[in-house]
A and B are shown apart, each in its own frame.
Chain A
Amino acid sequence: MPKIEPRGYESKFWGYASPILALLLTGATSGLIFAIMGKPPGRTVYTFLITPLIQQGGLEALVVKAAPLIMMGVGLSLAYRANVWNIGTDGQFTLGAICGGGIGLAFPDANPWLLFPAMLIIGTIGGMVSGGLVAWMRIRFNANEILTSLMLTYVTQYLLLYLVTGPWRDPQGFGFPQTAQFSDAASGPRLVPDTNIHVGILLAPLIAIALWVMLEKSLLGFQFRVLGQATRAARFAGFSENRLVWIAMLVSGGLAGMAGLLEATGTLGQLTTQVSPGYGFTAIIVAFLGRLNPLGTIPAGLLLALTYLGGDAAQISLGLPNAVTGIFQGILLFYLLGCDFLLLHRIRWRAAPVKVA
């Protein structure tokens, strides 16, 4: 029977190896599930992970999909480091799309140099409002932020539903629940012409780097890290827990709102009944896969974007239901959490000999 021993310190090797091990285990388990479903495991995993990269337009689709995930994941890395469990980024994303998108729909012919930045700012503020509400309820009323942020997601979803079926419905839309398309001015610039590569693709990694510097090198970042690891020590040092909760929720909410606006204008082109295909929960996995390190969210976001594209590819060529992506992501998070055990513990396969002096 192998024995488990605590290490007494955090293993640096496993800090990097754990996510890789988790990925390998996820691949193996998924292969098993595919086999049970009657699909050839090797080919399915290939379709899932490799095909999206090599097919035409694959890389473009990858970075476009990854940008919102990275942006949201970065915000969550910061919040989770401080033990502020924002689970409602989906709602903040949606509210950002609504607020910023609303401006774009109201002023389709305005000067693009004024309109789009305004939309971006308003969208970010929309996310911040939602996040700020959660922070206020936690600080003022001790309300658990997990539940409040999650409930707000559902509420925001219904708000969107109301808007696209009612006041914002496109009169030329044949009665479908959607808004008009965003005008060129409202759609924002493309970094590479004739592609979907919008401003967010550049902003996301820049924000990740900036937040990494803040978290690791600045006094404010130190405050976040201490708060997450030892609340009393944070108080001892004179760090204000309330202030940090506000910042965590405003930043993570704002980044989600920004991502929402960018997704609505850059990829969707309009508002429909659903602007987020579950990015909120995926972003949680991105944050953990990146080990709650802002720089880590970049490869993590790319990988999880790949799983979305893979799910689509598998659906088309192998007839796998789209829900497979959700399972893959859930399994990945489980393995991540499980493999992290190896950071603080080692497994002894044979009993160590007892030394008697």
Chain B
Amino acid sequence: MPSPPPPGPLLSMTGMTKQYPGCLANDHVSLTVERNQIHALLGENGAGKSTLVKMIYGVVKPDAGKMVWEGEKVAVQNPGHAQRLGIGMVFQHFSLFEALTVAENIALGLGSAAERVGLRDRIVKVSNEYGLPLDPDRVVHDLSVGERQRIEIVRCLLQNPKLLIMDEPTSVLTPSEVQKLFVTLRRLAAEGCSILYISHKLEEVRALCSAATIMRLGRNVAQVVPANKTVKELAEIMIAADLREPTPRPGLAGETRQRLVLNKLTVRSPHHFGTDLHDVSLLIAGGEILGIAGIAGNGQNELMDALSGEILAGHPENVLIDGVPAGLMGPAERRRLRGCFVPEERNGHGAVTTMTLAENAFLSGFVLHALVRFGLIDEKRTHKVAADIIHRFDVRTTGPKAQARSLSGGNLQKFLVGREVLQDPSVLIINQPTWGVDAGAALAIHEAIMALAQEGAAVMIISQDLDEIFILADRIAVIAGGRVSDPIPTRDATIESIGRLMGGTTAQPALPVAASLTYA
């Protein structure tokens, strides 16, 4: 019978401070996690949650502060040390090796040879026991995102952690997978492994966590019991402002011309581990926003590429832009038809990071803005176009000559969205509009999208963020396994029905959708 744990909190941090050039990431932050507790860590992007957690896990060394673990003062040297202390972490971005098997991946994550003894059997036992079954011999590239997360979790569980840190774990899960995860986490907490849960999904936090520490701009601002606050109250503490309700959508302005039509679009993925598209058929009218919901890896990128013209369809009739058969046209020709596109990946796809903003404006805009004369680039006009985008979309930068890589994620995304919107498109397709973007920029982008639809453009939003889709879209469809469901009006949709379409049955009550969730 193991001796009872010493009294007092599991983890107590006080005065944690970390300075980066130009930014005080953590300013005398304190955090206390009790035993058997699921503790939330809340805050906007840039509030300092990541830094704090990295200090716990030994990835980053604090400039000042005290950390007391199980009653003893410690200074965590590196992740290996953290693991030996009993701290495990599941990052938002997984560290997995696609070409290797589950067992090999886990073996690489364990510290010592002793831990690798009998690994395959232990993986099967532990993963099944906690409701996260894994086959040790499957190669990672065959697995879904949810299954990949299980590898990360099981890897931690095999080291018998006392504290498990999870960074945005549910952003890549279907609603039913979320519920399964919650069951596992509650069990872990009951058995003696506390959870430190970082998330911006306030509704989930209220359902799961018994305590929350809220950070803003590098400081603690509150410690609360989430169930005692409403989502709106929590969000307001996080951003210290009264939440503005987004301008409600006035609804379709009576424009019914079908501006974008997909007819049984079927496309083979050029990526080795990609998802083929099958028989995708959709209609989007002018003034309408169609939201395509779905977990990553279900064909979103293939859909985007098929629409932008980077992948050609089988027949011209598969894609109609304003009635013109465009299936065999490349991107430049589709732009001539006033189709504009914002891909998911800013770096290296939507923009060339080593080039200036002017050159990036030229990249997609040279057709519709007529920036080429006699084969030569019209540099003055290009400069003006870029300056226009910067001004109208409040892009924080030194000017059109700034290199794209000098911009923050949110600013670059504002620039790229603005670049497309200012071309006055008839059809706009955006893949993950506000991924990795701060709240202020996200709001600006949403408003730009809605304004564009107001003017009569047909807009498609592909997003993993259900909240975003519920805010923006008039109709919702779900992409799963390369197929797209029939769109239903947003007001008729619930998280439950959407979750069912994403794959996997649901057994939980439908969660109400609150529009104010997103800006938190």
Please report A residues at the B interface, Cβ cutoff 8 Å: 8-10, 217-220, 222, 225-226, 229-230, 232-233, 235-238, 240, 352, 354-357
Taking a contact as CB atoms under 8 Å apart, the answer to whether B377 and A222 are in contact is yes
Taking a contact as CB atoms under 8 Å apart, the answer to whether B363 and A236 are in contact is yes
Q: Does B30 contact A (CB under 8 A)?
A: no
CB of A214 to closest CB in B, whole Å: 9
Please report B residues at the A interface, Cβ cutoff 8 Å: 17, 19, 21, 24, 27, 63-64, 308-310, 330-333, 335, 341, 343, 345, 348-355, 359, 362-364, 366, 372, 375-377, 403, 405-406
Name the residue of chain B whose CB is nearest to the CB of A352.
B21
Given the interface contacts A219-B372, A226-B363, does A238 sit within 8 Å of B309 by beta carbon? Answer: yes
Name the residue of chain A whose CB is nearest to the CB of B64.
A356
A–B Cβ pairs within 8 angstroms, 6 of them: A219-B377, A226-B363, A236-B350, A238-B333, A356-B63, A357-B19
Give bound CA distance, A9 to B354, whole Å.
Answer: 8
Taking a contact as CB atoms under 8 Å apart, the answer to whether A9 and B403 are in contact is yes
CB of B96 to closest CB in A, whole Å: 22
Taking a contact as CB atoms under 8 Å apart, the answer to whether B335 and A238 are in contact is yes
Give bound CA distance, A10 to B343, whole Å.
Answer: 26
Name the residue of chain B whose CB is nearest to the CB of A222.
B377
Taking a contact as CB atoms under 8 Å apart, the answer to whether A8 and B405 are in contact is yes
Give bound CA distance, A218 to B349, whole Å.
Answer: 21
Name the residue of chain A whose CB is nearest to the CB of B374.
A218
Give bound CA distance, A33 to B64, whole Å.
Answer: 52
Given the interface contacts A8-B406, A219-B375, A226-B352, does A357 sit within 8 Å of B27 by beta carbon? Answer: yes
Contact of A237 among B64, B331, B377, B403 (CB under 8 A): B331
* List of B residues within 8 angstroms of A226 by Cβ: 352, 355, 363
Taking a contact as CB atoms under 8 Å apart, the answer to whether B343 and A236 are in contact is yes
* List of B residues within 8 angstroms of A8 by Cβ: 405-406
* List of A residues within 8 angstroms of B63 by Cβ: 354, 356
* List of A residues within 8 angstroms of B331 by Cβ: 235-238
Contact of A232 among B17, B330, B335, B348 (CB under 8 A): B348
* List of B residues within 8 angstroms of A229 by Cβ: 352, 354-355
State the 6 A-B residue pairs at the shortest beta-carbon distance, nearest first: A238-B332, A238-B331, A232-B349, A230-B348, A230-B352, A238-B330
Taking a contact as CB atoms under 8 Å apart, the answer to whether A236 and B310 are in contact is yes
Taking a contact as CB atoms under 8 Å apart, the answer to whether A230 and B349 are in contact is yes
Give bound CA distance, A237 to B362, whole Å.
Answer: 9
Taking a contact as CB atoms under 8 Å apart, the answer to whether A218 and B376 are in contact is yes
Give bound CA distance, A349 to B377, whole Å.
Answer: 43
Taking a contact as CB atoms under 8 Å apart, the answer to whether B364 and A10 are in contact is no
Taking a contact as CB atoms under 8 Å apart, the answer to whether A10 and B24 are in contact is no
Give bound CA distance, A236 to B364, whole Å.
Answer: 8
Give bound CA distance, A217 to B332, whole Å.
Answer: 19
* List of A residues within 8 angstroms of B372 by Cβ: 219
Name the residue of chain A whose CB is nearest to the CB of B362.
A222
* List of B residues within 8 angstroms of A230 by Cβ: 348-349, 352-354
Give the interface SS of chain B, mostly helix, strand, loop or mixed: mixed
Give bound CA distance, A195 to B309, whole Å.
Answer: 57
Taking a contact as CB atoms under 8 Å apart, the answer to whether B24 and A357 are in contact is yes
Extra inter-chain contacts (19) besides given A226-B363, A236-B341, A356-B24, CB under 8 Å: A8-B405, A9-B406, A10-B354, A220-B375, A229-B354, A230-B352, A230-B353, A232-B345, A232-B349, A233-B349, A233-B352, A237-B332, A237-B363, A238-B309, A238-B335, A352-B21, A354-B63, A356-B17, A357-B27
Give bound CA distance, A219 to B378, whole Å.
Answer: 10
CB of A211 to closest CB in B, whole Å: 14
Given the interface contacts A10-B354, A230-B349, does A354 sit within 8 Å of B19 by beta carbon? Answer: yes
Taking a contact as CB atoms under 8 Å apart, the answer to whether A233 and B27 are in contact is no
Taking a contact as CB atoms under 8 Å apart, the answer to whether A356 and B19 are in contact is yes
* List of B residues within 8 angstroms of A220 by Cβ: 375
Contact of A233 among B309, B335, B363 (CB under 8 A): B363
* List of A residues within 8 angstroms of B332 by Cβ: 237-238
* List of B residues within 8 angstroms of A235 by Cβ: 310, 331
* List of A residues within 8 angstroms of B376 by Cβ: 217-219
Name the residue of chain A whose CB is nearest to the CB of B353.
A230
| Residue from B350, B376, B405 with most neighbouring chain A CB atoms (10 Å) | B376
* List of B residues within 8 angstroms of A10 by Cβ: 354, 403
* List of B residues within 8 angstroms of A237 by Cβ: 331-332, 363-364
CB of B179 to closest CB in A, whole Å: 36
* List of A residues within 8 angstroms of B64 by Cβ: 356
Given the interface contacts A226-B363, A238-B333, does A233 sit within 8 Å of B403 by beta carbon? Answer: no
| Residue from B345, B350, B354, B362 with most neighbouring chain A CB atoms (10 Å) | B354
CB of B381 to closest CB in A, whole Å: 13
Taking a contact as CB atoms under 8 Å apart, the answer to whether A236 and B24 are in contact is no
Taking a contact as CB atoms under 8 Å apart, the answer to whether A355 and B354 are in contact is no
Taking a contact as CB atoms under 8 Å apart, the answer to whether B359 and A222 are in contact is yes
* List of A residues within 8 angstroms of B308 by Cβ: 236
* List of A residues within 8 angstroms of B309 by Cβ: 238
* List of A residues within 8 angstroms of B350 by Cβ: 233, 236
* List of A residues within 8 angstroms of B355 by Cβ: 225-226, 229
Give bound CA distance, A8 to B407, whole Å.
Answer: 10
CB of A101 to closest CB in B, whole Å: 35
CB of B345 to closest CB in A, whole Å: 7
Give bound CA distance, A217 to B372, whole Å.
Answer: 10
CB of B266 to closest CB in A, whole Å: 20
| Residue from A226, A236, A240 with most neighbouring chain B CB atoms (10 Å) | A236
Give bound CA distance, A238 to B406, whole Å.
Answer: 25
* List of A residues within 8 angstroms of B345 by Cβ: 232
| Residue from A218, A226, A238, A357 with most neighbouring chain B CB atoms (10 Å) | A238
CB of A262 to closest CB in B, whole Å: 28
Give bound CA distance, A282 to B349, whole Å.
Answer: 34
Taking a contact as CB atoms under 8 Å apart, the answer to whether B377 and A217 are in contact is yes
Taking a contact as CB atoms under 8 Å apart, the answer to whether A218 and B348 are in contact is no
Name the residue of chain A whose CB is nearest to the CB of B218.
A357
CB of A274 to closest CB in B, whole Å: 40
* List of A residues within 8 angstroms of B406 by Cβ: 8-9
Give bound CA distance, A219 to B363, whole Å.
Answer: 10
Give bound CA distance, A27 to B375, whole Å.
Answer: 43
CB of A323 to closest CB in B, whole Å: 38
* List of B residues within 8 angstroms of A219 by Cβ: 366, 372, 375-377
Contact of A355 among B19, B349, B362, B377 (CB under 8 A): B19
Give bound CA distance, A131 to B345, whole Å.
Answer: 34
CB of B19 to closest CB in A, whole Å: 5
CB of A13 to closest CB in B, whole Å: 16
Give bound CA distance, A218 to B345, whole Å.
Answer: 27
* List of A residues within 8 angstroms of B27 by Cβ: 357
Contact of B349 among A9, A222, A236, A240 (CB under 8 A): A236
Give bound CA distance, A225 to B359, whole Å.
Answer: 11
Taking a contact as CB atoms under 8 Å apart, the answer to whether A218 and B403 are in contact is no
Give bound CA distance, A230 to B403, whole Å.
Answer: 14
* List of B residues within 8 angstroms of A217 by Cβ: 376-377
* List of A residues within 8 angstroms of B348 by Cβ: 230, 232-233
